Structure 1
Amino acid sequence: MNKRFGDRFWIGFGVGTAALLVGACLYWASPYAATWDEVDFSLALERYDVLAMQPHFPGYPYFVLGGMAVHAFIANPAKALSILNVLVLFSAAFPIVLLLARHMPRPAALWAALSVLSSSYVLLASARPMSDGAALGVLWWYMWAVERAHRQKTWKAQLLPAAFFSVLMGIRLSYAPFGAALLFLWHEDWNRHRRFGRVAASVLAAALFQLIWVAAAARTEGGLFSFFQLGWAFVHGHFSDWGGTAAASPLPFSERVQRFLIDNFLWTGIACQNAWLLAAYAAIGAIAWRAGRFRLPRALVVSALLYAVWALLAQNIEKPRHLLPLIHFTLFYVWGRFFASPRPWGAALAAAAVLLQAAVGIGQLREQVVTPPAVYQLADDLRDKRQPFVVYTWEETRVFDYLRVPFPHKEVLHFSFFLQDKENYRHAAIYMTNHVIEGFKAQGIDVSRHVRKVKTYRSSLLADPVYGTITLYEWVDGAVR
């Protein structure tokens, strides 16, 4: 009787905590489109046009379609996308509990799932108008479907993970390495039945599921050929210019690995740059390591390792949000081991960890909403300037366009263009952001002696590590050549 009461108490407490957490995330979901990609997605809710980068390639039609549905009730498109992310992310509570319930009692599975979903940094990164939160939620449904097909061992069971993988790709294409989990299913099917037709049918079904969203996106661009031409240009730029990949970044490989593991994954991803949370997970990790055995599904492990390599080499190292799946899977493993051996105080410790994570995460969510993004602050200040001026930026100009600012602004990537273009503004003040100056420096041109610092704008560096700090400079020496 006491055990039954205890289970009901912890289940009720867990459900109540989850409801409060979801409510807080919905309330503090970001209303700002503060980066180039966030503007892409927000504009897509008004007019879907991949060529105009509304959104950028490959179009992410499932994410945009979901955003349009929420946008029917939420006027702010950025807020609508942020809310969509929160809803889809927390829907993952069901597949996570189902995956864990085979190894532990339901109350323990519920608290383990809540411990994963309350990850502070994941909450912050997901409650923004990008596709990360929705993709992570669908990824858990996909992994559950893979394990379900693995247990049922029927051909029909393979259709559900193939369908979920199609939805995943239509939300976030960079999660493609997780497709390795389907290869595991097909390989097992081949070993069991040795029938080429069964495997070929599975592959064909998966391809047809993918074709649904690809064809829908391609139709808006005039057909598949035009769509793939656009895709080639996007991929080339990503890997050779602006994508922040290992091939395009000047960062030494050893330093890239250190930043990936220590800064992005451990300090930011797990601890949300909070010493108390880091210490708590050090203790929980030590307890979990000594606890009972808990094995992750092999397909999950292999696909996660492939994604880790992809994130290290082919994603922007300046953006820790690319590690969200690795953060969730790591916490899934830690809490799975923690609850693998029953202990009377396990739920209490998990509840304390959830409350700590929630407090840190909600505090960060509130901060990113209360303090407008640095680029918004910059736009507001420039609106108040009376004298004629022009401001040169990098990606900030995309946000200025979105905000429909009344002042002239231009994206400048090369110093030679700046020298030519500024001659058109001889009787106007010339401003530029720190990202322009840093870009010139990367080209071997130091303009620090020819600019004067005007003001620095700051917002959450956790929410936006690249444009969370913007410094405005004024060009004071027109004689430089």
Structure 2
Amino acid sequence: MSISARYLNFRCRISLLFLVCLLLRLCFSGKYLDSCDSIDFALGLRDYDLSLLQPHFPGYPVYIFISGLFFKLLHNDVWALALPGVLFGSLSVYPLSFLARRLFSEKVATLTAMLYLINPLCWLQAERPTSDALGFFFIMLSAHYLYQALTSHARTIHAVPGEAHCNTAIRKARQKKFRVPKTLMRSFAPRVWCGDRNLFLGSLALGVGLGVRLSYSPFLVLWIATVFAVRKRPCRIAALVWRLRGLAVGVCLWFLPQIGYTGWRAFFQNGFSFSRGHFTDWGGSVFTSHGLERVASFIKSVWVFGLGGWWYDTSCLRLVPSLIIAISLFCFFRNYPFDRREWFLGVYGVPYLLWVILGQNVANPRHLLPLMPMLCMMIAYGLCKACERGCKGVSLVFILLLTFCMAVTSLKLVIKYCHDVPAPIQLIRFLERHSNPISSRIYCSNEERFFDYYVPQWDVRTVRNRTELQRDVLSSLETPQQILIVHSPGEIEQFGVTRPPTATFQGNPYADSAREGLLLYTLTEW
């Protein structure tokens, strides 16, 4: 079979996986706004204002723009916010598989695409009305083009003897007004243009991706490393400017409209205020959450939520894929040739991994989404390498068992997510049936955003402990007839409540912002 025919068959397989991925994600797309971020996005679709956290800094302009297009067509905020993740999360199969093909082989790329399709974290995040899946698409697209640029320039130097000096020879010939043979130009120029074009497209995709999620900025390290690696090749100043132009264009596409809408001063004031709160108060960074509990949360996010591994509170069905994943990772590290591919994967994953460990809430698994393709590639490579080393029958059984068990686990997860009502919405429905908004006041935490969106007529206030609650009640001109407290099980201790709750609302630990659930108390003394 010719190379072109093999490439066509590979593209057909990936296109089939894309259609399956898109169909599955459409079937189980979310029906509710399940987190405070999704509430902020929904409010931003109607009234975009960073000062009101609609949405919060940096404003997610690219995601809001694309969701706004869907909102104009569908007039449904949940679908408008979820469909970008469904569509672009499915499209991520293409850059992911093409990158895996260049890094490893077609077999590894096909298996990587299959693992991505049924990965629990990748599947679930594509269903949610958040920006993660859209940002993941641009990061994968950028990584694909950046690696293409790296390999294109490597071929320019090493593919043909003496080709590295062609650029210098052509320039000197033109300076001396010699005629440059067209055959030389045709043989060399496409290679240089291909590398610069790929670098431009990779930089452009990264720049646009930062407008989806600015928290993906650690991938700038990958871009800088690629630019410097390519810069070692012979090049002109114009080519170097071309390499820097892509990122600037991608950033300007969203940054200039953002500044024009919000203003310089307001934008940076909101950015400073939000960043200070994120790192020092509520963001879950290493400054506010540390110790063994943080380490355990990180391991659980990667192993349980990211790869679908077994944990003491999960199904025994997860034991089978856990064992296979461990064996495949062992085969990967044992047989992996440490070369340029290792350098690229390391620069891709390590900076972002450090950012998650130090600056993000490790208990929230969605922050680990960009690391999942690297793990899928490692697992796929380990299984394929075991197959090549004489364990073909065992490897095929492992692949079938892994795909089946992971698919069942992920399918159960997305079905539960699709049909379960988030805990804050359960709470609102309960209060609408059993309480009066005129005579009641509710004290809660992050759930205030849900009330602002669904039932803005309720008197809802945010407090963190009993002292703040007492201060607010005593300073009120009129004391409400009924005072209700809503908090998670871990936070309710701050209020000194010992009696059983009035109502309990279960949360989804994989998706719900109130993953621990919510407790409702009626306060009689303060």
Asked if TM exceeds 0.5, the reply is yes
Q: How does 1:65-464 map to 2 (within 5 A)?
A: 65-102=65-102, 106=106, 109-153=109-153, 154-193=195-234, 198-199=239-240, 202-203=243-244, 205-221=246-262, 223-249=263-289, 251-252=290-291, 254-260=292-298, 262-271=299-308, 273-287=314-328, 289-290=330-331, 293=336, 296-340=341-385, 342=388, 345=393, 349-387=398-436, 388-404=439-455, 406-413=457-464, 415-423=466-474, 424=476, 426-435=479-488, 439=491, 441=493, 446-449=495-498, 453-464=501-512
TM-score (norm 1): 0.87
Q: Relative to structure 1, is the Cα distance of residues 281 and 47 closer, same or farther in structure 2, using a 3 angstrom cutoff?
A: same
User: Counterpart amino acid of 2:364?
Assistant: K
Alpha-carbon distance change, 293 to 439 in structure 1, aligned in 2, over 3 angstroms: closer
2:424 and 2:514 in contact (8 A); partners too? no
TM-score when scaled to structure 2? 0.80
Distance 2:337 2:513 in 1: 35
What is the CA-CA distance between 1:9 and the residue it aligns to?
Answer: 11
SS at match of 1:51: helix
Distance 1:274-1:9 versus aligned 2 partners, 3 A rule: farther
Cα distance, 1:453–1:287 mapped onto 2, change above 3 Å? closer
Does the CA contact (< 8 Å) of 2:324 and 2:402 recur in 1?
no
Return the alpha-carbon distance in structure 1 between the equivalents of residues 504 and 303 of structure 2.
29
d(CA) in 2 for partners of 1:180, 1:389: 52
Deviation of the 1:163 alpha carbon: 0.2
Q: Taking structure 1 as reference, are residues 274 and 405 closer, same or farther at Cα in structure 2, changes over 3 Å only?
A: farther
Q: 2:37, 2:296 → 1: CA distance?
A: 26
How has the CA–CA distance of structure 1 residues 51 and 347 changed in structure 2, closer, same or farther, with 3 Å as cutoff?
farther
Residues 97, 325 of structure 1: alpha-carbon distance in 2 compared, 3 angstrom cutoff = same
Question: For each residue in 1:95-119, what CA deviation from the matched residue of structure 2 results, as whole angstroms up to 9, or x when unmatched?
Answer: 1221233466646532321112320
Cα distance change, pair 58–405 in 1 and its aligned pair in 2 (3 A): closer
**Structure 1 unmatched ranges of 5 or more:** 2-6
- Equivalence map 1:43-58=2 (5 Å): 43-58=43-58
Query: In structure 1, what residue type is equivalent to 2:52?
Result: A
Distance 1:348 1:90 in 2: 27
Separation of aligned partners in 2, 1:447 and 1:324: 38
Deviation at 1:476? 2.1
Alpha carbons of 1:174 and 1:13: their partners in 2 closer, same or farther (altered >3 Å)?
closer
- Per-residue CA distance 1:6-54 (angstroms, 9 max, x = gap): x999998886665344323212111211321111112222232222222
Stretch of structure 1 that moved more, 65-74 or 362-371: 65-74
Q: Match for 2:348: what amino acid?
A: S
In structure 2, the CA distance between the partners of 1:103 and 1:35, relative to structure 1 (3 Å rule), is closer
2:205 and 2:13 map into 1 onto residues whose CA distance is: 31
Against the structure 1 CA distance between its residues 197 and 236, is the aligned structure 2 distance closer, same or farther, given a 3 Å change threshold?
A: farther
Which SS does the other structure have where 1:33 is aligned?
Answer: coil
Q: Does 1:469 align with 2:507?
A: no
Distance 1:275 1:187 in 2: 48
Contact 2:423 2:514 in 1 (8 A): no
Q: 1:90 to 1:229 in 2, by over 3 A?
A: same
Whether contact under 8 Å (1:60, 1:171) holds in the other structure is yes
Any conservation in 1 of the 2:466–2:495 contact (CA below 8 Å)?
Answer: no
Provide closer, same or farther for how the CA distance between residues 88 and 408 of structure 1 changes in structure 2, counting only shifts above 3 A. same
Counterpart CA distance in 2 for 1:241 and 1:393 is 17
* 8 Å contact from structure 1 (residues 415, 440) kept in 2: no
Alignment match, 2:178: none
Q: Which amino acid aligns with 2:523?
A: W
Q: Is the 8 A contact 1:31 1:76 kept in 2?
A: no
> For residues 117 and 396 of structure 2, what CA distance do their matches in structure 1 show?
16
- Note if contact 1:111-1:347 (Cα within 8 Å) is conserved in structure 2: no
Whether the aligned pair in 1 keeps the contact of 2:328 and 2:379 (CA below 8 Å) is: no
Distance 1:266 1:45 in 2: 35
CA 185–9 in structure 1, closer or farther in 2 if over 3 Å, else same? closer
Letter in 1 for 2:37: D
Q: Could you tell me how far 1:200 is from its partner in structure 2?
A: 5.5
CA distance in structure 2 between the partners assigned to 1:202 and 1:453 by the alignment: 60
Deviation at 1:452, TM superposition (A): 5.0
Give the conservation status (yes or no) of the 8 Å contact 2:96–2:113: yes
Would you say how many aligned residue pairs link Structure 1 and Structure 2?
465
| Paired residue type of 2:428 | A
C-alpha displacement at 1:204, in angstroms?
A: 5.0
The residue that corresponds to 1:4 in the other structure is none
Deviation at 1:80, TM superposition (A): 2.2
Q: Deviations over 1:392-447 (max 9, x none)?
A: 11110101111125432212235443213224453511111124x85575xxx552
Q: 1:288 and 1:310 mapped to 2: Cα distance?
A: 23
Distance 1:274 1:301, change over 3 A: farther
